[in-house]
Structure 1
Amino acid sequence: MQRKHLIRLSYLLSLLLLMGACKEEEYAIPTLSSDFQNTAIKRNLGPNLIGKNMEFAYAMALPQVKGKILSAQVEASIPGAPGTYLDNQSYHTNLSRVDVGVIVGEPSVTEGNKSRVAFTADTCAATLRYYYVVPEAARGQKVTFTFSAISSTGENVSYSMGPYDVSRMDMVLDLNVKDGENSYISIADMAVYDETAAAANPGNIDLVYLYREMPSVTFAHSLVSPAADPQYLPSVALPAGVNKSTRLRKAWGLRDQQLARLQFGIFIDDLDFQQLDLSDAPNYGINMKAESGAWVETADGKYRAYIFVNAVDNTNKSARISIKRYAL
Structure 2
Amino acid sequence: MKHKQLSSIPFLLFFLLFLAACKEEEYAIPTLPQTLQNDVIKRTLGPNLVGQNIEFAYAMAIPKSLGKLTSAQVEASIAGAEATYMDNKSYNTAGNGEDVGVPVGSVSTNAGGKTTVTFTADTIAATLRYFYRIPAAAKGQEVSFTFSANASNGQTVSYKMGPYKIAEMDMVLDLDVKDSSAAYISIEDMAVYNPTQAATNAAKVDLVYLYRSIPNVAFAHGLVAPSAKTYLPGVTLPSGVSRSAKVRRAWALRDFHLARLQYGIYIDDLDFQQLNLDDAPDFAINLRAESGAWVETADGKYRAYIYVNSINNATKSAKISIKRYTLK
TM-score, with length taken from structure 1: 0.90
Shift of 1:67: 1.1
- List, as ranges, runs of 4+ consecutive aligned residues in structure 1 with deviation greater than 4 Å: 24-29
Post-superposition CA distance 1:151-173 (Å, at most 9, x none): 01111110110010100001111
Q: Equivalent residue for 1:14?
A: none
SS in 2 for 1:203: helix
Q: Distance in 2 between matches of 1:265 and 1:62?
A: 40
SS in 1 for 2:199: helix
Whether 1:165 and 2:178 are equivalent positions in the alignment is no
Whether 1:302 and 2:301 are equivalent positions in the alignment is yes
Shift of 1:130: 0.7
Q: Equivalent residue for 2:99?
A: 99
Give the 3 Å change call, closer, same or farther, for CA 308–26 of structure 1 in structure 2: farther
Shift of 1:65: 2.1
Shift of 1:205: 0.7
Q: Equivalent residue for 2:226?
A: 226
Shift of 1:114: 0.4
Whether 1:84 and 2:84 are equivalent positions in the alignment is yes
Post-superposition CA distance 1:287-320 (Å, at most 9, x none): 0011111110011111100001111111111111
SS in 2 for 1:249: strand
Q: Which amino acid aligns with 1:36?
A: L
Shift of 1:136: 1.2
SS in 2 for 1:319: strand
Q: Equivalent residue for 1:275?
A: 274
SS in 1 for 2:214: coil
Gaps of 5+ in 1: 1-23
Give the 3 Å change call, closer, same or farther, for CA 97–235 of structure 1 in structure 2: same
SS in 2 for 1:287: strand
Q: Distance in 1 between matches of 2:184 and 2:43?
A: 37
Shift of 1:28: 4.8
- Percent identical: 65
Whether 1:72 and 2:72 are equivalent positions in the alignment is yes
Q: Equivalent residue for 1:46?
A: 46
Q: Equivalent residue for 1:240?
A: 239
Q: Equivalent residue for 1:196?
A: 196
Q: Equivalent residue for 2:119?
A: 119
Q: Distance in 2 between matches of 1:46 and 1:108?
A: 26
Q: Distance in 2 between matches of 1:212 and 1:240?
A: 22
RMSD over aligned Cα, in angstroms?
1.3
Q: Distance in 1 between matches of 2:28 and 2:226?
A: 70
Give the 3 Å change call, closer, same or farther, for CA 27–193 of structure 1 in structure 2: farther
Q: Equivalent residue for 2:3?
A: none
Give the 3 Å change call, closer, same or farther, for CA 163–26 of structure 1 in structure 2: farther
Shift of 1:33: 2.6
Q: Distance in 1 between matches of 2:171 and 2:102?
A: 34
Shift of 1:27: 5.7
Shift of 1:181: 1.3
Q: Equivalent residue for 1:257?
A: 256
Q: Which amino acid aligns with 1:220?
A: A
Post-superposition CA distance 1:239-274 (Å, at most 9, x none): 011111010001111111111111224100000000
Shift of 1:29: 4.3
Q: Equivalent residue for 1:184?
A: 184
Q: 2:253, 2:264 within 8 Å by CA — same for their partners in 1?
A: no
Give the 3 Å change call, closer, same or farther, for CA 240–50 of structure 1 in structure 2: same
TM-score, with length taken from structure 2: 0.90
Whether 1:34 and 2:43 are equivalent positions in the alignment is no
Q: Distance in 2 between matches of 1:44 and 1:28?
A: 36
Q: Which amino acid aligns with 2:132?
A: Y
Q: Equivalent residue for 1:12?
A: none
Whether 1:217 and 2:217 are equivalent positions in the alignment is yes
Whether 1:137 and 2:130 are equivalent positions in the alignment is no
Give the 3 Å change call, closer, same or farther, for CA 324–28 of structure 1 in structure 2: farther
Q: Distance in 2 between matches of 1:97 and 1:200?
A: 54
Whether 1:205 and 2:205 are equivalent positions in the alignment is yes
Q: Distance in 1 between matches of 2:63 and 2:242?
A: 70
Q: Which stretch of structure 1 is more off in the superposition, 126-135 or 33-42?
A: 33-42
Greater radius of gyration (CA): 2
Post-superposition CA distance 1:88-114 (Å, at most 9, x none): 111112112222111111111101110
SS in 2 for 1:219: strand
SS in 2 for 1:213: strand
